[in-house]
Amino acid sequence: MSARVHRPGANILLEGQPSDTIHLIVSGGMARYKTTMEGGRTIVWLGLPREFANLGLLWFDKVNYGMFALGQTRSLCLSASKLHHVLKEQPDIAVAFGWLISAENMMLGERVQSLARLSARERLLLFLCETGYRSHALEEETTRGLGDSFEIGVTQAQLADLLGLTPVHVNRTIQTLISEGMVARQQKKWRLLNPAAAWREANFSPNYLHPYKRTAEPQDAAASGRF
């Protein structure tokens, strides 16, 4: 296991590139993206601190997405082949990784539904509610709250890419939410000023993120050098 620092926007993994490295995000963030044959790019997932960025390499020697750093990012690099061996030997940790992957699949399902059915305002609020909850998911139940404040180094252009909107539309929506007293933003720091109302309007329920309550074990095991 080794630590790496990635500069903002640096490519960490190219689409279809063979790799044996799985990244555990320590600080900053990572974005997965897909590109079309014409070169168009779509961000499909954002990874936060204490999340694994590319667990697909546990089963495949290459994945069908690329990754780049969101802002200055630090990660712990684990060998996918060694981790795969550990999971075979320690079923309890394998189950925990299964929870991680299940939660990730459910997040992607929510993202698809939001792109198909939600307005721009609802998409943005859902993103903020989910990101806030994920940012605090590994805290104790009594201190996590509603995830009303968090930090993520995503630009408006990147956010527009993720939400399937134009940067202009995202900017207008953010300004509207700020003027209504729903959201506050200062550079990378976001705050939901009325998180309960945001949850209601975005129809956000953290039920699909419940596995996050039980995911401290694999992250802590990785950080301690067990892999």
Q: Check residue 144 and give its pLDDT.
A: 47
**Closest to 194 in 3D by CA, of 130, 129, 131:** 129
| This prediction's pTM | 0.86
Looking up tokens 């690329």, which residue turns up? 66
- Contacts of residue 3, Cβ cutoff 8 Å, sequence gap at least 6: 26, 74, 75, 76, 77
How many residues are given for the chain? 227
> For the chain, which ranges sit under pLDDT 70?
138-147, 210-227
Q: Check residue 98 and give its pLDDT.
A: 87
**Mean pLDDT score of the chain:** 88
Q: Which CATH architecture has domain 105-211?
A: Orthogonal Bundle (1.10)
Q: Check residue 103 and give its pLDDT.
A: 85
Other C-beta atoms within 10 Å of 179: how many?
9
**Closest to 188 in 3D by CA, of 68, 53, 37, 28:** 28
Q: Check residue 29 and give its pLDDT.
A: 96
Q: Check residue 23 and give its pLDDT.
A: 97
Every domain of the chain with CATH number 1.10.10.10 lies at 105-211
Every domain of the chain with CATH number 2.60.120.10 lies at 1-80
Q: Check residue 206 and give its pLDDT.
A: 87
Query: If one looks up domain 1-80 in CATH, what number appears?
Result: 2.60.120.10
Q: Check residue 89 and give its pLDDT.
A: 93
Q: How far apart are the first and last CA of the chain?
A: 7
Q: Check residue 211 and give its pLDDT.
A: 53
Other C-beta atoms within 10 Å of 5: how many?
13
For the stretch 6-57, pLDDT in tens is: 999 999 999 999 999 999 999 999 999 999 989 888 999 999 999 999 999 9
CB 124 within 8 Å of CB 132: no
Q: Check residue 143 and give its pLDDT.
A: 42
Q: Check residue 1 and give its pLDDT.
A: 80
Q: Check residue 164 and give its pLDDT.
A: 95
